[in-house]
A and B are shown apart, each in its own frame.
Chain A
Amino acid sequence: MTNPADPALASSLSAPASEVPAQQRQSEAPSNPSQPQPQTQPSKESGKPKKEKKEAKPKDTKDAIPATDGAEKLTGAELKKRAKAEKAARRAREKLDREAGGAPAPAGGPAAGGSGAGAGAGQPATPKKGHGQPAGGSGASGDKGRGLPRRPSGQTPGQPSPAEQKKKAEEKNVAVFGHLYGQQRRATVAGAGKEVHPAVLALGLQMRDYVVCGSSARCVATLLAFKRVIEAYTTPLGTSLSRHLTTHLSHQITYLSTCRPLSISQGNAIRALKLAIASIDPSVPEADAKETLCEFIDSFIREKITVADQVVAGSAAQKIQDGDVIVTFAGSSLVKQTLLNAHKQRKKFRVSIIDSRPLFEGKNLARALANAGLDVQYSLMNGISHAIKDATKVFLGAHAMTSNGRLYSRVGTALVAMSAKERAGGVEVPVIVCCETVKFTDRVALDSIVVNEIADADEMVTTQPPQQVTGLPDPAAAAAAAAAESSSENKKKASKTPVPPTNASPLEPNPALKNASSPLKDWRDTPNLQLLNLMYDVTPAEYVDMVVTEMGSLPPSAVPIVHRMSTSL
């Protein structure tokens, strides 16, 4: 029992070797924790953690002995009490973790949670306690290992309280968007409820990392994951499927929404699924009910997305004529399908893709279209006015269509639509939105500020300058240098060590440049500087001429009517 705890303690007391990488993965790694600092600082700093450990250790060893030989001696009441305390501690920790999110775990947080578990649980040292301890220990060690390089001077007053951290985080929030900074996106699966299905766990992370990105893709992926959840589901005794499955799903949904706020399409699909679950007769056997639900999911995906996409792509492709110059923004899957469809019909047209930082979704679209043999032109936001000059049509994808006819889509869409409508020549370019009705919502939006999603602002920092690729040390030269080096100085291991002081001048600048290339890298520590990474914007309805849906091509004003029709079906 003590074994799981001890290495953690040992590793946390010594310079943490194995813990730190794990911790760093958890938080966005603060660029190379400089080596000398942890050595000089802990002497001052580690006073507190050490004390904690001193307190913890005797307790642990003391407890471990009765635990190892007398675990069964404990009464049922004691066990229950302990379990309760553990649960409370775990909850507290989870909460703190979530609050801290990807940011450096509030130094006091996990440690306090861990020690809280120790204190709250009193004497016990159960197997679970053993699991709890490393977390606490690693929290402390994490504090030492990665909290320090961030602090410039040695006069840090112990551990900044979570409140302080929170205040600091709030300073980095753009005031106007204060309401949109909820909890930070979940960084790991740690702390997810045990009810959450592995498929959903994986999907959550994929969505967070934009591996699954795009309104329809997220919707389909969610439904497929939920299908697996339902397949794996067994109704607990004493409840009915239609009642319990909904709550079971809502655990999954909560988890997903902590990874990334749910899209409108996801919300619509989930609503439909819940409705289907609720409408299942409790008398239906579980296997049948599950089959019905799986079928429902399949048919939902087929009808609302797969077939709908085909219909939309088909009818939107008809709008493309020979000689057209189509401008599109970012990477809508539906627009891609439309353009490929039109290309298959042997239409001769040119596509101009406008893309934006930080997601660069248009690159994938450009690649797909170019591979299919289309004539593609690619530019970034700065080229809008140039790209739009020869445009004959603008095709846009949608994240959602609001009930007041506005288009809610990837940030930048509004600029493209506006440029199309306010072109210098005075000739307006038709703006066509491709959108399945599953993306229609009864919400309304006037500006892009009330309803929006804020992504991690750090995404804006990591710009990879193109020099980096070319700046890589030439392998041959490096090998030669290494050989020369090893011949002169045999004691050095030439392979990995940051080799020669002589050779350093050509080689060294690259890592230095990598770090120096982003002056924003410590923007969180720079007072008064804020970064804003919006996900969506709202395009006024007057910029949209037509919404192509599977139910036909509509003006934006028809969105609420179609939405009502499609939901009341």
Chain B
Amino acid sequence: MPSTSLALTPGLASFLKSLKTNPIDTSIDNLISLLKRRQIRHSRSCATATAYLLLRVISACRTTDAVKLIERVQNVGRRLVAAQPREMVVGNIVRRVLGLIREEAEDDREMDFNLSEAGSESQPQTPRVPDDASDIPSARLDGSAARTSLTSMFSLLSHPEPERLLPGTPSSASPSGRVPGPSKDIRAEVMEGINEIIDELGQVDDQISAYALDHIHSNEIILTHTSSTTVQKFLLKAAAKRRFTVIIAESFPNNHEATHATVSGASANDEESMSTESFQKPLIAMGITVILIPDSAVFALMSRVNKVILGTHSVLANGGLVAAAGTRVIARAAKVHQTPVTVVSGVYKLSPVYPFDFESLIEYGDASKVIGYEDGDLVDQIDVQNPLYDYVPAELVDLYITNLGGHAPSYLYRIVSDHYRKEDIHF
């Protein structure tokens, strides 16, 4: 029974399989329903699914017009985000794809412009229509300004209005025949870019773990929480060279089974995660002493802990993070004991959203995990709560380690602005 049902369980694997055969609209609806039903859960799975879907969307898009592509992706992205607003990685991937398209389009246009500029130099009078002439340079300037300003302070004050023109104006410009749209197909390049994003998603844990030896010294006692693969890989990498002790809080109602399986090395075949991950060795096989504790014992042990390493669900632009429930008290207890808190996270989890209402980020889970069916009489009488996520404010985190290296929480907004274009933040 399990062997047959596993293959049929809706999830990332089945979605990716169906993606190749199903028509594109079916696939979009499929992913939306998977997200809504939470059959795709983990950040990485969501990100991967979104990236593959957008790849399909773009390859199926018959147009080569950048504007139409952007509109199409925005449209799909909006639906996906609406399906599961708390899975912020979905929005992140959509934003990055949008950024890719814009960049390619700008490159294209710039090249054209330069070509035409070079051509126009031969004849002093430009035969351009006035409105066209005013339009194109402004768009070009915006484009180049946006790109150069990524590393400059000027963009801090730049007005967002002109950039809104980009989706709109070139469409009016293209019919004029000035911009030779069909001449080059930017889709191939965009798809290449998406493939790069997918590759990044696959490698991100290894890239992060490359920094492990910079952060873990010998004989350390490290406390972590949940069965985050990023954290496990990070620790595994360090375990190859150093001897240390790992204390794992089991994160009881929502993730304890996975944690137990991770800890004991009994590979619970979690089809949510990518198949390769289930083959990783457990820490104990590397000779690392692993101590499993209930979540309640965190404060008692914190005085002996050297370092807290946490995984996360998503990271916000202000340096705070949304992570598995229980993370906040752990981070708080670490702060009280002056123990450094390190968060490992792929850049893809970095969200440009600055949420003013933290409450809206919190998802509540299945109450039956807290009080089982055997206590059914209680469920009628009391209000059982099972929050899935905690918001951890930035001041409780000392260090972020992403695939780009280590950063202070206050620096994160720079990384955000490197990865997402301003016009895509609210797409």
Could you tell me which A residues sit within 8 Å of B by CB distance? 174-176, 356-358, 363, 366-367, 370-371, 375-387, 410-412, 414-415, 418-419, 422, 424, 447-449, 452, 460, 463-466, 469-470, 505-506, 508-509, 517-520, 523, 526-534, 536-538
Q: Find residues 357-373 in chain B having any chain A CB closer than 8 Å to their own CB.
A: 362, 368-373
Q: Is the CB of B329 within 8 A of A419?
A: yes
Q: Is the CB of A387 within 8 A of B291?
A: no
- The stretch of B113-121, B144-152, B378-386 in contact with A is B378-386
Q: Is the CB of B378 within 8 A of A370?
A: yes
Q: Is the CB of A382 within 8 A of B252?
A: yes
Q: Is the CB of A418 within 8 A of B292?
A: no
B326 at the A interface (CB under 8 A): yes
How long is the Cα–Cα vector from A460 to B291 in the complex, in angstroms?
A: 12
Q: Is the CB of B291 within 8 A of A530?
A: yes
Nearest-neighbor residue (CB-CB) of B266 within chain A: A519
Kindly identify which residue among A363, A422, A452 contacts B378, using a CB–CB cutoff of 8 Å. Answer: A363
Q: Is the CB of A382 within 8 A of B251?
A: yes
How long is the Cα–Cα vector from A424 to B383 in the complex, in angstroms?
A: 24
- A/B interface sample: 28 pairs, CB < 8 A: A175-B289, A378-B370, A378-B383, A380-B253, A380-B370, A381-B296, A383-B325, A383-B386, A386-B385, A386-B387, A411-B296, A412-B299, A414-B333, A415-B329, A415-B333, A422-B332, A460-B292, A460-B294, A463-B256, A466-B369, A506-B1, A519-B263, A530-B291, A532-B291, A532-B293, A534-B301, A537-B299, A538-B300
B290 at the A interface (CB under 8 A): yes
Chain B residues near A356 (CB-CB < 8 A): 252, 294-296
CB distance from A477 to the nearest CB of B (A): 15
Chain B residues near A505 (CB-CB < 8 A): 1
Chain B residues near A449 (CB-CB < 8 A): 300-301, 303-304
Q: Is the CB of A385 within 8 A of B329?
A: yes
CB distance from B306 to the nearest CB of A (A): 12
Chain B residues near A470 (CB-CB < 8 A): 373
Q: Find residues 274-331 in chain B having any chain A CB closer than 8 Å to their own CB.
A: 283-285, 287-301, 303-304, 324-326, 328-329
CB distance from A566 to the nearest CB of B (A): 28
Q: Is the CB of B1 within 8 A of A376?
A: no
Q: Is the CB of A381 within 8 A of B284?
A: no
Chain B residues near A465 (CB-CB < 8 A): 257
Nearest-neighbor residue (CB-CB) of A465 within chain B: B257
B254 at the A interface (CB under 8 A): yes
How long is the Cα–Cα vector from A452 to B252 in the complex, in angstroms?
A: 22
Kindly identify which residue among A385, A452, A529 contacts B328, using a CB–CB cutoff of 8 Å. Answer: A385
Q: Is the CB of B336 within 8 A of A377?
A: no
B168 at the A interface (CB under 8 A): no
Contacts between chains A and B (CB distance < 8 A), count: 204
Decide: A509 near B373, CB < 8 A? Known: A379-B387, A422-B336: no
Q: In the complex, which of the residues A376, A377, A381, A387 has the most CB atoms of chain B within 10 Å of its own CB atom? A: A381
B375 at the A interface (CB under 8 A): yes
Kindly identify which residue among B251, B257, B326 contacts A517, using a CB–CB cutoff of 8 Å. Answer: B257
Q: Is the CB of B298 within 8 A of A526?
A: no
Chain B residues near A519 (CB-CB < 8 A): 257, 260-261, 263-264, 266, 268
Known A381-B252, A411-B296, A520-B263; further 5 A-B contacts with Cβ < 8 A: A375-B383, A381-B326, A411-B294, A415-B333, A505-B1
Chain A residues near B10 (CB-CB < 8 A): none
CB distance from B331 to the nearest CB of A (A): 10
CB distance from A330 to the nearest CB of B (A): 9
B127 at the A interface (CB under 8 A): no
CB distance from B136 to the nearest CB of A (A): 50
Chain B residues near A422 (CB-CB < 8 A): 332, 335-336
Q: Is the CB of A528 within 8 A of B336?
A: no
Q: Is the CB of B295 within 8 A of A381?
A: yes
How long is the Cα–Cα vector from A175 to B51 in the complex, in angstroms?
A: 46
How long is the Cα–Cα vector from A386 to B324 in the complex, in angstroms?
A: 13
Nearest-neighbor residue (CB-CB) of A356 within chain B: B296
Chain B residues near A447 (CB-CB < 8 A): 300, 303
Q: Is the CB of A370 within 8 A of B291?
A: no
Chain A residues near B326 (CB-CB < 8 A): 381-382, 384
Chain B residues near A527 (CB-CB < 8 A): 284
Q: Is the CB of B386 within 8 A of A379?
A: yes
Chain A residues near B287 (CB-CB < 8 A): 528
Q: Is the CB of A363 within 8 A of B252?
A: no
CB distance from B116 to the nearest CB of A (A): 57
Q: List the 3 closest A-B pairs by CB distance, nearest first.
A: A412-B296, A448-B300, A519-B266
CB distance from A448 to the nearest CB of B (A): 3
CB distance from A555 to the nearest CB of B (A): 20
Q: Is the CB of B297 within 8 A of A371?
A: no
How long is the Cα–Cα vector from A422 to B260 in the complex, in angstroms?
A: 30
Q: Is the CB of B378 within 8 A of A367?
A: yes
Q: Is the CB of B383 within 8 A of A376?
A: yes
Kindly identify which residue among A358, A378, A529, A536 contacts B371, using a CB–CB cutoff of 8 Å. Answer: A378
Decide: A528 near B329, CB < 8 A? Known: A463-B256, A519-B268: no
Q: Is the CB of B261 within 8 A of A357?
A: no
Nearest-neighbor residue (CB-CB) of A543 within chain B: B336
Chain B residues near A367 (CB-CB < 8 A): 377-378, 381
B374 at the A interface (CB under 8 A): yes
Q: Is the CB of A376 within 8 A of B382?
A: yes
Kindly identify which residue among A418, A466, A506, A532 contacts B299, using a CB–CB cutoff of 8 Å. Answer: A418
How long is the Cα–Cα vector from A370 to B375 in the complex, in angstroms?
A: 13
Nearest-neighbor residue (CB-CB) of A448 within chain B: B300
How long is the Cα–Cα vector from A536 to B299 in the complex, in angstroms?
A: 10
Chain A residues near B295 (CB-CB < 8 A): 356-357, 380-382, 412
Q: In the complex, which of the residues A380, A447, A517 has the most CB atoms of chain B within 10 Å of its own CB atom? A: A380
Nearest-neighbor residue (CB-CB) of B362 within chain A: A386
Chain A residues near B362 (CB-CB < 8 A): 386
